[in-house]
Structures are given as C-alpha cells and as structure tokens.
C-alpha cells in the first residue's frame, strides 16, 4: 500500500513540474520555426552548408537572402514581437541585394568575414560577380535570434550588402529566373549558395 502511494506521489510531482501556467495578459512569442507563415519564407530565403576537412567541420555557414518577399515577412514579424514599425531594420540594406550571414568555426579569429585577407565574398547575378559594399557585424544576438534561427552565441553574424538591386528569385511573374548566387571563400574552402 505504501509503495502505491509513493508511486502516485512520484507521478504527480513529476507531472506537476512539467505544467506551466501563464498569468492573465502574458503572451509568449512563437519561435521562428513555430510561426508558419514567416518560417516558410525564412526557409525559402536561407541556404547553408559546411566546409569539412578530414571529418572536422571547419565552418558552418548559413545565409538568408533579404529579398523583398522575405523583408516583408521580417517586418511583419518584427511588428508582432516588438510592437513597433520595423521598416527601419537594416536601413543600410534597403533595396540592395543583402544577406544575413552566420558563420560558426572552431577558431574565432578565422571567421571574421570583414577581414578581406581571410575571406572573399561575391554576389553573382546576370551582370557577373561583385564584392560587397558593406560587411557589418550584427551585435544584438538576443534581438535577432527571434528572426534568424541560425544566430547563436557560438556564431559570428554579419549583414552583407552589395550594390545590386534585390529581386525576388521565386517571383511567379518573371519570364526568366534570375541568377542569385552568394560565394564565400577562405583559405580552407569555398561555399556557393544559389537562390
């Protein structure tokens, strides 16, 4: 009998620890992968891959293309979360071909994308490849993790802007699908991402 009471008490206590309650007026925001509309556009705009050497991941790189379609989803989500007009987000990237690039590497000194001695970054479209006009480190990880799930405490995160017009590569009204390619190259390897 005592054994059954102990079992019931253990089950009750373990279940009670898993239950959360929200006070009236408290709302928890959905993580990016839980926000269906936003996440579909985020996935469509994000590419990534690993540079691997002898079974070691040297770099894990992800890039999100800030296309007009994705920017509108980003602005909408920012308005829902921060209750402000988010049109000024990444103002230096407005109407330009721009990317949020996250890089994870074991050696933090070698993942600095702004160091042109270590990295070459190219954007390629029908006019050929161009180098960025801006490579800016993103500082506020806590704010941007609500929008870009590849941003973490272990990544280096950058806004990369090119002097080219941003286009929607998946737009239905295009006669010809435009080339949209981002290439990142270092002494260890190269990764190409196409949209």
- Crossing angle between the packed helical segments 68-82 and 36-45, to the nearest 10 degrees: 140
Domain boundaries, the chain: 29-188
Q: Determine the 3-state secondary structure of 40 from DSSP.
A: helix
Helix ranges (DSSP H) in 19-161: 36-45, 68-82, 141-144
When pLDDT is cut at 50, 70 and 90, the band that residue 106 belongs to is: confident
Average pLDDT, the chain: 84
Would you call 15 helix, strand, or coil by DSSP?
helix
Three-state secondary structure call for residue 18: helix
Structure tokens at 14: 């373990």
DSSP state at residue 177: P
Contact 121, 135 (CB under 8 A): yes
pTM for the model: 0.80
Question: pLDDT at residue 100 above 90?
Answer: yes
């Amino acid at each position: 009998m005592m054994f059954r009471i102990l079992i019931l008490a253990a089950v009750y206590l373990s279940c009670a620890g898993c239950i959360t309650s929200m006070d009236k007026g408290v709302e928890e925001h959905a993580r990016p992968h839980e926000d269906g509309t936003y996440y579909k556009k985020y996935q469509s705009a994000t590419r990534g891959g690993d540079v691997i050497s002898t079974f070691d991941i040297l770099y894990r790189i992800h890039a999100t293309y800030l296309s007009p379609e994705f920017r509108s989803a980003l602005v909408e989500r920012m308005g829902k979360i921060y209750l402000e007009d988010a049109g000024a987000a990444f103002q230096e990237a407005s109407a330009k071909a721009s990317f949020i690039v996250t890089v994870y590497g074991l050696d933090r000194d070698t993942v600095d994308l702004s160091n042109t001695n270590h990295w070459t970054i190219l954007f390629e479209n029908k006019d050929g490849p161009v180098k960025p006009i801006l490579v800016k480190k993103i500082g506020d990880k806590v704010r941007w993790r609500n929008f870009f799930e590849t941003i973490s405490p272990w990544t280096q995160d950058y806004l990369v802007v090119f002097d080219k017009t941003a286009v929607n590569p998946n737009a239905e009204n295009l006669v010809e699908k435009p080339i949209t390619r981002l290439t990142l190259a270092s002494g260890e390897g190269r990764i190409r991402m196409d949209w």
